[in-house]
Structures are given as structure tokens and as C-alpha cells.
A and B are shown apart, each in its own frame.
Chain A
Amino acid sequence: MSEQTVPGVEQAVALGLTRDEYALVIEKLGGREPNEVELAMFSLLWSEHCAYKHSKKLLRTLPTEGPAVFMGPGENAGAVLVGDGGLVCAFKVESHNHPSAVEPFQGAATGVGGILRDIFALGARPIAILDALRFGEPSSERSRYLLDRAVAGIGHYGNSIGVPTIGGEVYFEAPYETNCLVNAMALGLADRSKMIRSAATGVGNPVVLFGASTGRDGIGGASVLASAELGEADDDKRPTVQVGDPFEEKKLLECSLELLEKGLLVSLQDLGAAGLTSSASEMASKGEVGIDIDVAAVPLREADMEPFEIMVSESQERMLCICTPDRVDEVIAITDKWEVHGTVIGSVTDTRAMRIFRGDELVGEMPVEALVDDCPIYDLAPEKPSVPLYPAPAATLAAGTDARRTLLALLASPNVASRLPLFEQYDPVVQSRTVRRPNECDAAVLQLPDGSGLAASIDCNGRRVASDPYRGTIEAALECAANLACAGAKPLGTTNNLNFGNPEKPEIAWQLTEAVRGLGEACRALEAPIVGGNVSLYNQGLDGPIYPTPVVGMVGELPDVTKAGRLGFLREGDAWGLAGWNAMPSLEASELAKLRGEALPDGLPDFDVEHVLKTQEAIRDAVRSGDLSSAHDVAEGGFLVALAECCLAGGIGARFDDGNALADDRSGRPVPDEILFGERPGGFIVSGPREALERLADHTPLDIFGTVGGDALDVAVGDTSFAVPLAELHAAWDGGLRPFFP
């Protein structure tokens, strides 16, 4: 190798490696210190973001196999079989938290761009985006700025590239004030026979880079931004945030799919975190081969880039493919047609080494295994915190407020208010598959060519997970499945994004361990295995860690998409009722408790997972049969809020005919807030012909309480009785977030 300066251990530490890890790198290099190129590559591939070194052992405990699984964790995304055979749905969620906290528009936009590339790198056409967002309270100017720009960034990328944003969720809680979360989930659809993997094979095969040229943007993103806590003076990190170009990606997408359609590729991989370094090394690792790369062949935006900069640049909208030598000309011609000009930058070798050249000069040589597989994996040291980690939320609603005003306050609160001011900034219909748009059903529903439907949902209530990481995470998975059930869909597979604080701290390690335990149990019970996901750690700023936020994304299927469920009340005269609850819900960690400024409890009430699953099955079957007019699961805000949401989505009122059944034997005495506003998994508001509800009651506890109709929500439960005109409900609900998007 050519003579090169050795940066040394202090530089390694500055790039995020520990001293012990640096010593191990020397050992893996046969006793010599890494040069600049090698150190840059090791520091990225051995970062938390790329190596999962604090989460890998936990992730191995998750269920990953099931009858529908076509591709499990390890590829660019997971995939499940859908429809009548032959079709595959690829999906995955990924985070772009720290980039978004530093530069929200580009951070969120490139988060969408990155997850879309993961999908079409498999040969699947991206068909939908969902997102999970977390910000501080909107009373803070900074949170409003992050919200506004992140939403604009998501819309900019998804709308421009022609992939519909069909769903998502957003929560506002003080612990996300300095460290917002931007998680994006994408779904793709592929012909099973056209899918491709990323393993490099065929010694002598050329490696072709296509898409945007390579610049200095995003250098160090994976190690500097994604694998450390945020602190003061993060403005300095803005240059490490990449800049996205959805038009370039649209061409890249169409080009990639055309290359695969014509059967020209051996393997395909996108360039994401750690750029060429990670893409090429992972392709070599999976194919058990070596790869030579000539950085002098890489088309550059800036002429004077150093080899290490070229290898670690995170310039967006680039792909790497491998083809056989006789196909190179055809491959290049198609990339030229789409104006994403391909260039041969290397070849597959039998060396099992990554060798980096600049022209004829060898500037780096590392065993692939050392780079990709030999990063040390750490045991966590979990310890349940002895004192509360999070301060009580600020009170915004006085104790003793009456039920009517409480209902309106909840509907206007940031976590419950209408999401339409956000969703109106996204295109939900492009590609013509969308059967249920946001706020038409608890899950988004897409039609497939054979007449079946695909449903998707994403969810996680961080405050409940913070109260009880184990049960809170089970609740998040059950909530996704409940959303699918309301659409009439059964879960096929799950993806997840584990957003946590610094795992080296025992209390965060405990949150992470408990959450993964809950996630595994829930996905086993739901028969919805984990097919892929992402981990985002070190999400904490100067004021402490975020709420633990294991975002769960789930994809399910329904046999007949024309029977897809609705959340809104539909028909005057329908009966409505509450299904599923077999025990009193609790106000602990509820939305109302938050508004009242109550501290987070130490643990959530226990509940019977089997019972919840049986209820979901009953709801799903009833929706599929076409029996019900509507189905909506009871979540944040509890029973009355869910009821109001059914009225708002349907544009029709409802009344109680037999509210005393709800108050039980307490008739005539004050109705406890738990009944009206308490939260607990497994409750659903359903409507339809009375006989349909009676049939459903054979399968799950169900009380028919009233009748759909009129232009007001008319509440009469025990001694609580009031009416709210629909217009007043709507003003509260719609006005919660709309002022933040003037």
C-alpha cells in the first residue's frame, strides 16, 4: 500500500470509537494502525447506527418467522407474501431523528428518501408512506418550527416522487422538546419473481454506481449525528445533514425498476448511512466475496475530494448495482435514459477484502468480515430507575372540570386533535390504490390487483411506554393490530423503530430491555413476526432522555377490499355500542391525566392479552362480513373521545338510549371519569343494524348504548347529561393543530 499518514487513536476517539475498539481494529488489521481511509470506514461501520452494538443481542430475541414472511431482517427491508400469491409487500420503518432535530426540512425529507430507496433496492415499487412524529409541546416556538418544517419536508419528498402518504401519527410531549423524532415507514409492492437481494456475487463482475454525483454532504452522519447525544452548538452539525432531491430519486426509482424488469442485475443496494462504505461492504459480506473500488472513477461534485471523503459521503439518491460483464453496456444505457448516469467504479473479487484504490494506488485494505461482523457487541446493564425519570407534565386542565368541558378540552388537545392540518399537506391518492384515506378508517387501506386489500398502521404512545416499558410496548403493538382489525385486516408482519436514549445508562438499558421483551411477546401472540426495523439510540438532549418510543408499524391483509371498514358513523338510525372491555379502564397515564398534570405512574394496569386478541378477531370478522357500518378503537382520551371521533368522521351525531347500562349499578350517582375518559386496550366503538351488533355480542362483551343520528352528540350517562352540537365538537377538534399551519 502507498505511504500514508496514520491518524492515530485520538482521531479514532473523535470519530466515535472507544480506545478498546481502536485496539481491536489494529488487531484485525494484523497489527498495524489504520490509515485515514480505513479509520473512516471502521469508525462508521462500527458505529451504533451501523453495527447495532447495544441492541443486537436484544433484537435476536424477537420472533422473525411466520407463514407469510418472504424476507426477514437483514435485507434492505422485510417482505411478506400478499394477495393470491405471486405478490410481495416489502416494508420497513426508519428514523431520521437527529438530522431532523438539526435541520427539520431536509432531515425529514431525506428520511423519506432513504426509506424509499430501501424499498426499491429490493425491486419493489414504493406504494405508500406512513410517518411517526414526536415533538415537544406546541406551546414551544421551537416545537412549532420543527413540526412545520418536518411536515413540509415529508410532503415535499413524498408528493414530488409520487408515493402517497396514507397514514401516520404524531404526539406532542415535553421530553421530545430538543430531540424530536421523525420515523418514516414505506411499503412497496413487487412481483415475487422480480425481487432482488443485495449479496454481491460473481468474481470479476463490475460494480456500477448510478444516481447523483458524490459531494461532501452528510460526511460523518452515521457516527457524529446518529450515534451520539445532541448537545449545545448543534448548529455546527448542520453540514452533516444531507440534502434531498426527490426528482433525482424519482428517476433513480424508475431506472432501478426498469433494470430489474429487464433482468440485467445480479444485485442491488442503496447508498444510505455511511454511503459507499456501508453499501459495498455489506454487499461483499452477504456474498462472502471481496470488492475493489476505485475512488478516482466516482463522479464527484467537488474535484478535490479525498479518498476517505468519497468513501463516507452520504450524498443522497445513489444506488450501487452489480451485473455480469456482458450486461454493462445495457445497464449504462438504461441509466443514461433516466439521466442517472452509471459508472463502473469497481469489481467483485475473491479476496474477502474491501480494497480501496485511487487509480492504481491502493489507499485502503480491510477484511470484509472485520468491517461488517467483528464490531464488538455490548451487554446492557439494565437497572430499573429508583426515582422517576420524567417530571410530571404541565397541567392545562383544572381538576373538577365537568364532563362536557373535559371532552372539548381533550378533543382540542395536541395528541387528540384532528391530524388533517398535517395530512392535507400530503398526497394520499397518487398511484390510485388508496381505498381508505386518513381519518376514514383507523388503518390506511390500499387495493391490490386481485381485489384483496392491504392495510397499514403505525403507532406508539411514548408516555405509556415511559410509565411501563413492557406493557406500554405490548399496548403499541396491540393498538396497531386494533387499527387493522377496524379495517377488517389481519396482521401479516411487523416493523419497528426503537427510539431510546443513551443505552449506556442503566435506566435506559432497562427501558430498552423491557420494551423489546414486550414487543417480542406481543408479536408472537399476534402472529405478526418482525421482518425488519431500525434502532435509534442516544436520543437525549441537555434536559434528559426522550420518552422511550418503540414505534410499531404493522401490515395486514383483508380478502375483499370492498368490505374495508370505516371509523365514522354512517347511517341515521344505526345502533351503536362499546365492544371489548371486560374491566374498568384507568386514568393512569391517560390523556386526561396528562392534561391534569399528573405524574407518570410506576407501571400500567395489567390486562388480558388473550382477551384483547379475541376481541380484535371478533371485530375483524364482523367488518369483513360487511355487517357493521363502522368500527373504531378506543385509544387516547378514552370512550367519550372515541365516540366523538366517530361522529366527527361521519359528520353525524349520536345519542345515548341506555346510558345507565354504562354507569352500571351506579345509576343516579356520579359517573366516574374512568368510564368516560379512562384508557385500556381492547375497546371498540361499533355501529350498524341492531341485529349485527347483537351477533357481534356473541363473540365479545358488547353493550348497545344508543342510536346514530342528529347533529349533536347527546350524552346521558347516570347523572351526567349534556349535548354538544357537531359544529362545536368540530371547532374544538379541528382547531387544535390548525393554528400551527397558518
Chain B
Amino acid sequence: MRFGVVRFPGTCDDFDAQEAAARVGDAELLWHGDKDLRGVDAVIVPGGFSYGDYLRVGAIARFAPVMEEVVEFARAGGPVLGICNGFQVLCEAGLLPGALLPNTGRRFLFRQVDLVVERGDTMFTSQSGGTGTTLSIPVKHTSGRFYAPETDLDAMEAGGQVLLRYAPGQNPNGSLRDIAGVTNEAGNVFGLMPHPEHAVDPLTGSTDGLTIFASMAAGVGAHV
């Protein structure tokens, strides 16, 4: 099982994501300028401020050469995980529904929050402890308010695309329906605002985030 972690200029959590993935498989960095995924089994688009987040968060990164390959990989059913800025990039690239707007508080916010697993039977949550489990994972962002039109939200809910919700009373950014993480319709592309790569070691926080990487490894392992 090999993870590829995309590195744009301005990516900050690339090494963190690489180290987290390396706890459950092999992990290497993919350079934004290379149109080559080097045959990895899963792609992670990590957090940070790709291209400085100028213009609009994630708006420039989607045009990076590597993103053409990521889009093709995703359309072919390959597992893709977008964390924070990576979630924003995947939305901009049209791989995920909805958009991420500035927090209602209009400030950058770091906070350890509780998330409720809405579906424990997916390739991103199979190792999370099951539906209804609470995961403690930090958020850190300025633009994390998940938004989509009501009809789209209804469709996402009906299609089982909402995998993570902020626990009651802990929505840090004003996301609609407390949504913290969603998949595409096919279920192979997952974006979330919380940072699971910062919850993989009891020494530095919790280990609840590791379950997401472990789920991906288990899913790919089952396919291979």
C-alpha cells in the first residue's frame, strides 16, 4: 500500500500527512509540477496554503499539472483524501460537492473538536469504530464553513455522502448541518476540514485520526 502526498508551494502539512500515512503503509511526496502519480495506490491532498491561497482558497492549486492526474485517478475510482486546504482544492477541482466559505467568526481558528462518524462502513471510516463513534481531531482554518444548496445537501445526506459531522455544540465554523467531511457520489473521494494527520499519536494529541488512514489502507489492501 503506497500513499502519495501532493506537495504544492505553500503546502504546510505535507510531512505531517506523509508521516501519518507511513504509520499504516508507505508514503511519498508528489511534486505539484509533475504530471505523474508514480503508481501510488491512494492520493492525499494535504493542508496548508497552496499558492498562498491567493485569489480564493484552493483556486489556483486545481490548475497544477499534478491535479490533472489526480482528477483522472479519482474518476477511475482511486481513493483520494483531501484534508483542509486539500478539501478546498478538491471542491475547486469539481471532485467534491459544495464549497468552503470563510468561518462565521471570520478568524483563523485552532481547536480540538469532537466529530461523530455518520457512516462507519466506508473505505475512509471502516476502522473508525463504527457509525456513531466520536473522534477527537483538531481543526485549524480560516475558511471551513461547508456550504451547498439545500437540495444538494438533501441529496448528499440521502446518498450517504456525509461521513463526519461536528458533535452537537462543537461546530467551529458555521458549516451547514454541522458537516465536517463529505465524499463524492462514488464514495472514493473524501474531503474533511479537521486534520486527522494531527491525531495519530497519544503523545501529541489523540490517535483518532489514524483510523482514517488505517481505513484507507485496509480498503486498498482488500482490493489489491
A contact set with B: CB distance below 8 Å: 152, 155-156, 159-162, 245-248, 250-251, 254, 338-339, 423-435, 447, 561-562, 741
Contact of A425 among B12, B107, B204 (CB under 8 A): B107
With the chains together, A435 CA to B205 CA distance in Å? 7
Which A-chain residue is minimally distant from B111 (CB atoms)?
A424
Residues of chain A within 8 A (CB-CB) of B63 are none
Task: Assess whether A155 is in contact with B108, with CB atoms less than 8 Å apart.
Answer: yes
Contact of B204 among A254, A424, A447 (CB under 8 A): A447
Residues of chain A within 8 A (CB-CB) of B68 are none
Instruction: Please classify the interface of chain B as helix (H, G, I), strand (E, B), loop, or mixed, using the class held by over half of its residues.
Output: mixed
Task: Assess whether A245 is in contact with B107, with CB atoms less than 8 Å apart.
Answer: no
Contacts A161-B12, A431-B16 given; indicate if A426 touches B203 (C-beta within 8 A). Answer: no
> Whole-angstrom distance from the CB of A155 to the nearest CB of chain B?
5
Asked whether any CB of chain A lies closer than 8 Å to the CB of B140, the reply is yes
B contact set with A: CB distance below 8 Å: 9-13, 15-16, 19-20, 48-49, 51-54, 107-111, 138, 140, 195, 197-198, 201, 203-205
Which B-chain residue is minimally distant from A248 (CB atoms)?
B52
Task: Assess whether A562 is in contact with B140, with CB atoms less than 8 Å apart.
Answer: no
Which B-chain residue is minimally distant from A254 (CB atoms)?
B9
Task: Assess whether A246 is in contact with B107, with CB atoms less than 8 Å apart.
Answer: no
Top 9 nearest A-B pairs (CB, nearest first) are A162-B12, A247-B52, A160-B49, A432-B16, A429-B198, A427-B140, A247-B10, A155-B108, A425-B108
Which B-chain residue is minimally distant from A421 (CB atoms)?
B107
Task: Assess whether A338 is in contact with B9, with CB atoms less than 8 Å apart.
Answer: yes
26 residue pairs A–B, Cβ–Cβ below 8 Å: A152-B107, A156-B108, A160-B10, A160-B49, A162-B48, A245-B52, A246-B49, A247-B49, A250-B9, A251-B9, A251-B10, A338-B9, A424-B111, A425-B107, A426-B110, A428-B110, A429-B138, A429-B204, A430-B12, A430-B13, A430-B16, A432-B197, A432-B198, A435-B203, A447-B204, A562-B203
Q: How many A-B residue pairs have CB under 8 A?
A: 81
Which B-chain residue is minimally distant from A423 (CB atoms)?
B110
Residues of chain A within 8 A (CB-CB) of B110 are 423-429
With the chains together, A66 CA to B181 CA distance in Å? 52
With the chains together, A30 CA to B42 CA distance in Å? 69
Instruction: Please classify the interface of chain A as helix (H, G, I), strand (E, B), loop, or mixed, using the class held by over half of its residues.
Output: mixed
Contacts A245-B52, A247-B54, A561-B203 given; indicate if A159 touches B108 (C-beta within 8 A). Answer: yes
Task: Assess whether A447 is in contact with B108, with CB atoms less than 8 Å apart.
Answer: no
> Whole-angstrom distance from the CB of A564 to the nearest CB of chain B?
9
Contacts A159-B140, A162-B12 given; indicate if A741 touches B107 (C-beta within 8 A). Answer: yes
With the chains together, A428 CA to B140 CA distance in Å? 9
Contact of B51 among A247, A424, A428, A430 (CB under 8 A): A247
Residues of chain B within 8 A (CB-CB) of A250 are 9-10, 12, 49
Residues of chain A within 8 A (CB-CB) of B140 are 159, 427, 429-430
> Whole-angstrom distance from the CB of A447 to the nearest CB of chain B?
6
Residues of chain A within 8 A (CB-CB) of B54 are 247
Residues of chain B within 8 A (CB-CB) of A248 are 52
Residues of chain B within 8 A (CB-CB) of A425 are 107-110
> Whole-angstrom distance from the CB of B40 to the nearest CB of chain A?
21
With the chains together, A156 CA to B109 CA distance in Å? 11
> Whole-angstrom distance from the CB of B138 to the nearest CB of chain A?
6
> Whole-angstrom distance from the CB of A473 to the nearest CB of chain B?
33
With the chains together, A338 CA to B11 CA distance in Å? 13
Contacts A246-B49, A247-B49 given; indicate if A162 touches B13 (C-beta within 8 A). Answer: yes
Residues of chain A within 8 A (CB-CB) of B198 are 429-430, 432
With the chains together, A248 CA to B197 CA distance in Å? 25
Which B-chain residue is minimally distant from A432 (CB atoms)?
B16
With the chains together, A156 CA to B51 CA distance in Å? 15
Residues of chain B within 8 A (CB-CB) of A339 are 9
> Whole-angstrom distance from the CB of A156 to the nearest CB of chain B?
8
